[in-house]
């Protein structure tokens, strides 16, 4: 049987998982905490997990360490959310859109141009707004937040047609995250938004089912989209928050001392994740020049004007207007 590209990547990731118990100070009888994520073994998610595990081993005297499953080995984000909530998986890293079906208030973060920069988004998520949403997530899903990773800047990339102005985007078929906010944003921009699972995107681009998609510069190379797409646009439409979570079943099985150790590990690993993402972002942009990828900086005035009312579609979420205003106020 011929393996698909995604299956091949997963099999390689599976081999990597065997050596993903990183910290050497862990005891032979340490408790292995299963955590999953969807990105590559070289990604910022992986490094986030590894740093967390190192801190956890130190703070628990080697009693606990993470067993890391990358590249969707435990399933996609929605599957892992279900598994962690059911208690069959201990922890996960997941992006905010995948949690929207469970925690409707998170739809607010799919508002286009919600943040002005990665740094601003990280500052907001590190403050009262981030804690408020972490509390909502815990209440409505049972997932215990152990840190907000760096918001991920999602920019449009295309196969054969550059987007130098908004008119160039009209009718273009773009793969979009399966989230109402992303669909509404790109519909308002005049594109033809096409939601589909991330694992199907490479083949969809190769077979010209879609004309492009959106992702961050690091993932553009990690997932080999640079093989098919020659235009990357700094459109800054969405800044996607991602969180590290423990399931309620697992969390309730910890005593107070161990809970404190997990929280402490999160406080060490989260800023490290921000540093890694910033470095990977910068390296991704720099690599585009040598890889023959044209980086385009369109004037976004018309883009912001076209999407200025999209946020109103989410005011019917519980306390939507109040929560949205809190995010806006936190931006400063």
Element (H, E) at 138: helix 128-141
Give me the mean pLDDT over the 258-271 stretch.
98
Burial class (CB in 10 A: 0-12, 13-18, 19+), 167: exposed
Residue 315 pLDDT: 79
Q: Rounded to the nearest 5 degrees, what angle is found at the Cα of 106, between the Cα atoms of 156 and 122? A: 65
Query: Which position has the higher pLDDT, 310 or 313?
Result: 310
- In this structure, of 3-12, 60-69, 247-256, the range with the lowest mean pLDDT score is 3-12
| Residue 2 reports pLDDT greater than 80 | no
Residue 250 pLDDT: 98
Could you give the percent of the chain with pLDDT greater than 90? 85
Question: In the structure encoding, which two tokens stand for residue 301, read together?
Answer: 């005035």
From CA 2, how far away is CA 233, in angstroms rounded? 34
Residue 287 pLDDT: 96
Give me the mean pLDDT over the 138-167 stretch.
98
Residue 199 pLDDT: 80
Residue 25 pLDDT: 66
Residue 49 pLDDT: 98
Confidence category of residue 146, pLDDT binned at 50, 70, 90: very high
Give me the mean pLDDT over the 289-318 stretch.
94
Confidence category of residue 314, pLDDT binned at 50, 70, 90: confident
Residues 6+ apart with CB under 8 A from 270: 48, 147, 148, 149, 244
Residue 15 pLDDT: 42
Residue 8 pLDDT: 45
- In this structure, of 19-28, 126-135, 249-258, the range with the lowest mean pLDDT score is 19-28
| Residue 16 reports pLDDT greater than 60 | no
CA distances for 287 relative to 117, 214, 246, angstroms: 21, 18, 35
Handedness of CA 121, 124, 127, 129 (dihedral sign): negative
Average pLDDT, the chain: 92
Burial class (CB in 10 A: 0-12, 13-18, 19+), 171: exposed
Strands 238-240 and 152-158: antiparallel
Residue 70 pLDDT: 96
Question: In the structure encoding, which two tokens stand for residue 230, read together?
Answer: 């020659």
Give me the mean pLDDT over the 271-295 stretch.
97
| pLDDT, tens digit, 9 for 90 and up, residues 38-70 | 998 999 999 999 999 999 999 999 999 999 999
| Residue 27 reports pLDDT greater than 80 | no
Give me the mean pLDDT over the 269-294 stretch.
97
| Residue 14 reports pLDDT greater than 70 | no
| Residue 3 reports pLDDT greater than 60 | no
Residue 10 pLDDT: 46
Confidence category of residue 11, pLDDT binned at 50, 70, 90: very low
Q: Which domains does the chain have, with CATH numbers?
A: 5-149+241-285 (3.40.190.170), 153-238+293-331 (3.40.190.170)
């Amino acid at each position: 049987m011929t393996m698909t590209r995604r299956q091949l990547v997963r099999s390689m990731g599976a081999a990597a998982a065997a050596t993903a118990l990183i910290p050497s100070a862990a005891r032979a009888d340490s408790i292995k905490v299963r955590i999953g994520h969807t990105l590559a073994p070289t990604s910022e998610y992986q490094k986030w997990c590894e740093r967390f595990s190192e801190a956890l081993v130190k703070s628990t005297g080697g009693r606990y360490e993470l067993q890391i499953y990358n590249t969707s080995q435990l399933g996609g984000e929605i599957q892992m959310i279900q598994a962690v909530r059911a208690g069959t998986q201990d922890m996960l890293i997941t992006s905010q859109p995948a949690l929207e079906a469970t925690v409707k208030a998170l739809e607010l973060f799919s508002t286009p141009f919600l943040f002005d920069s990665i740094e601003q988004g990280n500052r907001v998520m590190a403050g009262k707004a981030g804690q408020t949403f972490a509390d909502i997530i815990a209440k409505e899903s049972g997932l215990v937040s152990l840190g907000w990773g760096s918001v991920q800047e999602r920019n449009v990339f295309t196969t054969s047609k550059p987007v130098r102005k908004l008119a160039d985007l009209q009718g273009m078929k773009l793969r979009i995250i399966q989230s109402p906010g992303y669909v509404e944003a790109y519909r308002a921009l005049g594109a033809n938004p096409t939601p589909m699972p991330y694992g199907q995107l490479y083949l969809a681009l190769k077979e010209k089912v879609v004309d492009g998609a959106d992702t961050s510069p690091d993932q553009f190379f990690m997932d080999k989209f640079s093989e098919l797409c020659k235009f990357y646009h700094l459109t800054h439409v969405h800044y996607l928050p991602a969180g590290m979570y423990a399931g309620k079943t697992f969390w309730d099985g910890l005593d107070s001392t161990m809970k404190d150790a997990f929280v402490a590990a999160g406080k060490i690993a989260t800023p490290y994740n921000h540093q890694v993402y910033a470095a990977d972002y910068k390296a991704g942009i720099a690599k585009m020049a040598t890889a023959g990828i044209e980086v385009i900086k369109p004037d976004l005035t018309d883009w912001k004007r076209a999407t200025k009312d999209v946020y109103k579609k989410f005011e019917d979420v519980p306390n939507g207007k109040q929560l949205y205003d809190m995010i806006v106020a936190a931006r400063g």
